[in-house]
Amino acid sequence: MDGSRPGAIPEVSIIVPARNEEASLGDCLASLIGQTGAAFEIIVVDDGSTDRTREIAQSFAGVRVLSPDPLPNGWTGKNNAVIAGTKVARAQWLLFTDADTVHLPGSLARALAEAKREGADLLSYSPEQLVVTFAERAVMPVIFAELAAQYPPQKVRDQGSGIAAANGQYIVVRRAAYDAVGGHAAVAAEILEDVALARLFRKAGQRVYFRYGGDSVRTRMYRGWAQIREGWTKNLALLFPHPERLAIQSLFLWVVACSALGVALAGAASWHFVWIAIAFATFWALVYRRIRIAHFSTANNLIAITFGLPMFAYLLLRSKKAHGNGQVSWKGRAYRTGTRTGSTPAKVQASKTISRLENQGLRAKS
């Protein structure tokens, strides 16, 4: 593709793990096939899909579609799929990208040039997050604002900061460095494999480069409340070291914001209204300033302040509880946390865990 001769070694191998991604895979592959400026191959690993994922992948000429080996005990499905892709990848650079991403024209060549220019062994972009439903618009800005605060890109790029991070939706690695640290096989049991991989690179003295990449890649990470709840339950307790403290902080900000709005409305008819309005606007401006670093629209940021903060607190507590119980689920599989005992069908385990969480009072309005 893009100038690759039959049998020629491409410059980049693009590996796309996919499990039941019929809603998004077509757009992803179309955006990848249209890339220019670099010779590449595309490998889609169909991770046991039960929908049209494999059919869609096979409809694209030149895309190699394969299945991973049976899921080893203790590994996550995504890691197993990615490892299967790396076994057949031929290039000196690898791009790991999710099936729900859309890649802007020329982004692959630009990312490769940026990795070389920055001397990066691992380059990762945090994509522009597309949000559609109310739940997505409310909670995603809050979560990504907190992620930006927890993992500031400028500090991640500072090799001496002690902070390492990556976004698994878009990771470019130099193959030699990737193999040297053991690749995904070294983090195969990690649920948060992207951050674990970045830490592995950093520990080995390899250069990690991370930034917001809305100029290169976009994604709709979750489609509605059900996916948001399951996905962030799996991840939040791993991303934030003190989820309970952060939940309390989020609820406090929300209560103060609502109270400030109430006071402003109550004082609208009084001669003190100007000062009340100034105080209200100042507080909301401070909260808005924190939210807006996540690169969402003004409307979505205001929705997030008004409704997303308590939803985020709920997800933090739910994630903390699930990890405390030793199990999370994702896409029909249940994974044990804090152990190496592996995964089992979600119908057997995950439903019991999630229902137990609900019965213990961690509920939110969707």
Q: What is the maximum span of the chain, computed from C-alpha positions, in angstroms?
A: 79
Angle at 188 between CA 41 and CA 150, to 5 degrees: 95
CA dist 230 and 103 (Å) reads: 25
CA dist 87 and 64 (Å) reads: 13
Residue 322's contacts (CB-CB under 8 Å, 6 or more residues apart) are 233, 234, 237, 328, 337, 353, 354, 357
Encode pLDDT of 297-337 as tens digits.
999 999 999 999 999 999 999 999 999 999 999 999 999 99
CB 279 within 8 Å of CB 260: yes
Encode pLDDT of 330-357 as tens digits.
999 999 997 433 444 333 333 333 333 3
Which residue bears the tokens 């193959």? 175
Which residue bears the tokens 């209200």? 280
CA dist 97 and 280 (Å) reads: 43
What is the predicted pLDDT for the residue at 284?
76
What is the predicted pLDDT for the residue at 256?
83
Residue 16's contacts (CB-CB under 8 Å, 6 or more residues apart) are 25, 28, 29, 32, 42, 43, 44, 45, 85, 97, 98, 99
What is the predicted pLDDT for the residue at 128?
98
Question: Would you write out the chain's pLDDT as a tens digit for each of its 366 residues?
Answer: 654 555 689 999 999 999 999 999 999 999 999 999 999 999 999 999 999 999 999 999 999 999 999 999 999 999 999 999 999 999 999 999 999 999 999 999 999 999 999 999 999 999 999 999 999 999 999 999 999 999 999 999 999 999 999 999 999 999 999 999 999 999 999 999 999 999 999 999 999 999 999 999 999 999 999 999 999 999 999 999 999 999 999 999 888 877 776 666 665 556 566 666 666 677 778 888 989 999 999 999 999 999 999 999 999 999 999 999 999 999 999 999 974 334 443 333 333 333 333 333 333 333
pTM of the model: 0.87
What is the predicted pLDDT for the residue at 276?
63
CA dist 158 and 186 (Å) reads: 24
Give the architecture-level CATH label for domain 12-127+167-219: Alpha-Beta Complex (3.90)
Residue 63's contacts (CB-CB under 8 Å, 6 or more residues apart) are 29, 33, 42, 43, 44, 57
Please, what is the angle between helix 193-203 and helix 77-88, to 10°? 60
Q: How many other C-beta atoms can be found within 10 angstroms of the C-beta atom of residue 353? A: 19
Delimit the domains of the chain by residue range: 12-127+167-219, 225-359
CA dist 231 and 84 (Å) reads: 23
CB 313 within 8 Å of CB 232: no
CA dist 295 and 131 (Å) reads: 12
Terminal-residue alpha carbon distance, the chain? 44
What is the predicted pLDDT for the residue at 274?
63
At 106, list the tokens.
Answer: 């020329």
Which residue bears the tokens 């003295």? 205
Angle at 125 between CA 21 and CA 108, to 5 degrees: 80
Encode pLDDT of 167-205 as tens digits.
999 999 999 999 999 999 999 999 999 999 999 999 999
CA dist 257 and 287 (Å) reads: 8
At 363, list the tokens.
Answer: 């509920």
> How crowded is the C-beta side of 302, counted as CA atoms within 13 Å?
5
- Tell me how far CA of residue 217 lies from CA of 42, 94, 328, 343, in angstroms: 16, 16, 28, 31
DSSP 15-35: EEEESS-TTTHHHHHHHHHT-
Cα 29 versus chain centre, distance:
19
The helix (H) or strand (E) run that includes residue 326 is none
